[in-house]
Structure 1
Amino acid sequence: MVGLSSRSAVAIHALTMLGRWDDRSLTSADIADSLASNPVLVRRVLGSLRDAGLVWSTEGRGGGWSLARGSREITLFDAYTAVEDGPVLSRHPHPPSDACEVGRHMQELLETEFRAAEQAMKERLGRTTIADLVRQVLVAERRQAVPHR
């Protein structure tokens, strides 16, 4: 029922890495290593992020990917819209039967519910920035580095 792919997770992961190491460029291989994924998939996602103006790349020795704007200016919703097409929740592939009292009303009812759910998702993802995730990563790393007694 949900139309969300893994591209959003890959995009957010890549942006968070770029935000974490904002002082240097990262290669698609660097990002793929963190994802335990294929650099080709990462390059495709980075291409979509570049098309959306979220990242940029440089060629040659020392080249790689960097954020195109500050991590405080990039929301999770920005990442989502850069890599996903269409609505989050799938609609009926064809109109239900008008002969059925449920079928007659279901499209309109689902459209109302799905639109509200998608708006809630947009608002929630729009409140969290890449800088927020970088901060959370650093806090989690510090917590993990504290020796247990």
Structure 2
Amino acid sequence: MKRNSRLALALHTLGHMAADPAQMQTSTQIAEHAGTNPVVVRRVLGKLRQAGLLVSEKGHAGGWRLARPPEEITLADIYLALEENLVSSEPEDDTPRCAVEDAVQRKVTSVLQDIEQSLVTQLRATSLADVQETSEQHVDCHHG
């Protein structure tokens, strides 16, 4: 899962939040646990807040927490909130000078878009609660 650090950070963080959805976590706590910078954490979590997956509160007891129950947040919600594209990419603006190259490019783009849609469909089938249930069967992770 190291291919995209923003997605890995979001999935890891929200997976932990699913264990205690009401508990507020600061970006500093999350950053220390994830081994990254609080600014990176705030940038990623800000996108998740915009998508309605997280809420944030300022002040002494403030921080971040899930906006909805873990059962109602899918891995696709997180992936789409970050505007990720792990498989397909936007078509190039360069118009190929060769008809064969154009045909190959269009076909490959179409196949990759189909795979991307399949990925989102698969991610939609798993909620944060499902991840939490699976993680309870394993040793807790410790970073730092």
Superposition TM-score, scaled by structure 2 size: 0.85
Q: Is the 1:18–1:65 Cα contact (8 Å) retained in structure 2?
A: no
Q: Which is richer in helix?
A: 1
Percent of paired sites with the same residue: 37
3-state SS in 1 of match to 2:24: coil
Q: CA deviation at 1:88?
A: 4.1
Partner of 1:31: 30
**1 CA distance for matches of 2:33 and 2:126?**
21
Deviations along 1:97-125, one digit per CA (max 9) or x if unpaired, are 23x5x213112211221121111101111
Residue 140 (structure 1) aligns with: 138
Distance 2:49 2:102 in 1: 43
Deviation at 1:135, TM superposition (A): 1.3
Separation in structure 2 between the aligned mates of residue 60 and residue 104 of structure 1, nearest angstrom = 56
What does 1:1-149 align with in structure 2 at a 5 Å threshold? Answer: 5-84=4-83, 88-90=87-89, 91-98=91-98, 100=99, 102-141=100-139
RMSD of aligned Cα (Å): 2.1
Deviations 1:58-93 (A, max 9, x none): 111221111000101111110011112567422335
Deviation at 1:18, TM superposition (A): 1.4
Unaligned runs of 5+ residues in structure 2 are none
**Max radius of gyration: which structure?**
1
Q: What is the count of residue pairs matched by the alignment?
A: 138
Larger mean CA deviation between 42-51 and 55-64 belongs to 55-64
Report the Cα distance in structure 1 between the residues aligned to 2:94 and 2:71, rounded to whole angstroms.
42
Counterparts of 1:68 and 1:88, CA distance in 2: 28
Shift of 1:46: 0.8
Bigger mean CA deviation after superposition, 80-89 or 63-72: 80-89
Q: Distance in 2 between matches of 1:140 and 1:46?
A: 25
What amino acid maps onto 2:76 in structure 1?
Answer: F
Q: Secondary structure at the match of 2:65?
A: strand
Which one-letter code corresponds to 1:141 in the other structure? V
Contact conserved, 1:17 with 1:31, CA < 8 A, in 2? no
What is the Cα deviation at residue 53 of structure 1? 0.4
State the match for 1:147 in structure 2: none
The runs of 5 or more residues in structure 1 that have no matched partner are: 145-149
| In structure 2, C-alpha distance between the alignment counterparts of 1:141 and 1:26, rounded to whole Å | 21
**Normalising by the residue count of structure 1, what TM-score does the alignment of the two structures yield?**
0.82
Distance 2:28 2:106 in 1: 46
